[in-house]
């Protein structure tokens, strides 16, 4: 049976690797993105995966986007809430806009997207939702009160929604990556990054594919007894 999957922010970075891993697992994948049309078009041409532009922080756009995906590919069985941004600054320097953008997109996006697809999954008796959290939502990070709060919120959101989905065959899990070699991490100053890598026991940044393989497992038929959990893939940087 071919399952339909939506990956938000699925056209580059970790999301690109997730889209490809789900495609390789035999799923019919739709990759959402925010505005980088050129990157999205190149990705779609390279992979054959259709791309859909909308802002996950916009509730109505999420409803309409998911309806379009369902019309094109079939009812949505799998949702990977991967889209995320950073707007880093210490609390003293952080503007209200920086706070609100990160909460709206990173955490609000999970709510908006889940609202659009959860009912259908429940009605059909099968679904997988994977929310991409972060090591910095687990342990906090200097200069990231907005991002850490949003990611920590994702971990709570996951456990609460998992309880609502459990009886209906819908699993909800989080995956908390450590530092992964993508554009987001490329924006971190080199001196800061060196200090971060020094704290990773395996001695390197992670690869997007290493996160994607974890997501593919959480989305698989085999993972039906796994719900409400957080899978930490971080090179041993943060252990619970």
Q: How far is the CB of 82 from ligand NDP (least distance, A)?
A: 5
Q: Which is nearer to ligand NDP, 36 or 220 (CB)?
A: 36
Q: How many residues lie near ligand NDP (CB under 6 A)?
A: 30
Query: Quick one: 28 or 182, whose CB is closer to ligand NDP?
Result: 182
Among the listed residues 5, 6, 11, 237, the single contact to ligand NDP using CB under 6 A: 11
Minimum CB–partner distance for residue 29 and ligand NDP (Å): 14
The C-alpha torsion from 128 through 45 and 68 to 1, rounded to 10°, is -40
- Could you tell me the strand order of the sheet in which 4-7 lies? 51-53, 28-33, 4-7, 76-81, 127-132, 170-177, 230-233
CB 117 within 8 A of CB 6: yes
Distance CA 58, CA 87 (A): 18
* From candidates 42, 103, 149, 184, binder to ligand NDP by CB under 6 A: 184
112 binds ligand NDP (CB under 6 A): no
CB 179 within 8 A of CB 185: yes
Return the range that interacts with ligand NDP (CB under 6 A); candidates 66-74, 122-130, 182-190, 225-233.
182-190
8 in contact with ligand NDP (CB under 6 A): yes
Q: Which one from 33, 52, 59, 147 is the annotated catalytic residue?
A: 147
Q: For residues 42 and 169, which CB has a smaller minimum distance to ligand NDP in the complex? A: 42
As measured in angstroms, the least distance from the Cβ of 28 to ligand NDP is 19
HEC states along 18-41?
Answer: HHHHHHHCCCEEEEEECCCHHHHH
**Is 59 noted as a catalytic residue in this protein?**
no
- 34 lines the binding site for ligand NDP (CB under 6 A): yes
The pairing of beta strand 76-81 with beta strand 170-177: unpaired
The Cα–Cα gap between 110 and 82 comes to 9
Q: Does 36 bind ligand NDP (CB under 6 A)?
A: yes
Contact 218, 228 (CB under 8 A): no
- 3-class state of residue 82 by DSSP: coil
- Only one of the segments 91-99, 121-129, 173-181, 218-226 lies at the binding site for ligand NDP (rule: CB under 6 A); that segment is 173-181
The yes or no reply on residue 39 touching ligand NDP (CB under 6 A) is yes
| Residues with a known catalytic role | 147
């Amino acid at each position: 049976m071919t399952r339909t999957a939506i990956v938000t922010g699925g056209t580059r970075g970790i999301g690109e690797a997730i889209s490809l891993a789900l495609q390789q697992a035999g799923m019919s994948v739709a990759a959402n993105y925010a505005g980088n049309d050129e990157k999205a078009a190149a990705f779609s041409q390279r992979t054959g995966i259709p791309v859909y532009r909308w802002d996950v922080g916009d509730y109505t756009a999420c409803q309409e986007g998911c309806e379009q995906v369902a019309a094109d590919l079939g009812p949505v069985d799998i949702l990977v809430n991967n889209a995320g941004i950073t707007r880093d600054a210490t609390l003293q320097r952080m503007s209200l806009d920086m706070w609100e953008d990160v909460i709206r997109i990173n955490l609000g996006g999970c709510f908006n997207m889940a609202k659009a697809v959860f009912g259908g999954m429940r009605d059909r008796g099968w679904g997988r939702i994977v929310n991409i959290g972060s090591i910095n939502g687990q342990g906090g990070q200097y200069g990231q009160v907005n991002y850490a709060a949003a990611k920590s919120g994702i971990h709570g959101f996951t456990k609460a929604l998992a309880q609502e989905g459990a009886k209906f065959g819908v699993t909800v899990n989080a995956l908390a990556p450590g530092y992964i070699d993508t554009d987001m991490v490329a924006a971190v100053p080199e001196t800061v990054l060196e200090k971060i890598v020094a704290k990773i026991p395996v001695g390197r940044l992670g690869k997007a594919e290493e996160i994607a393989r974890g997501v593919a497992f959480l989305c698989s038929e085999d993972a039906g007894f796994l719900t409400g959990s957080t899978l930490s893939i971080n090179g041993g940087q943060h252990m619970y």
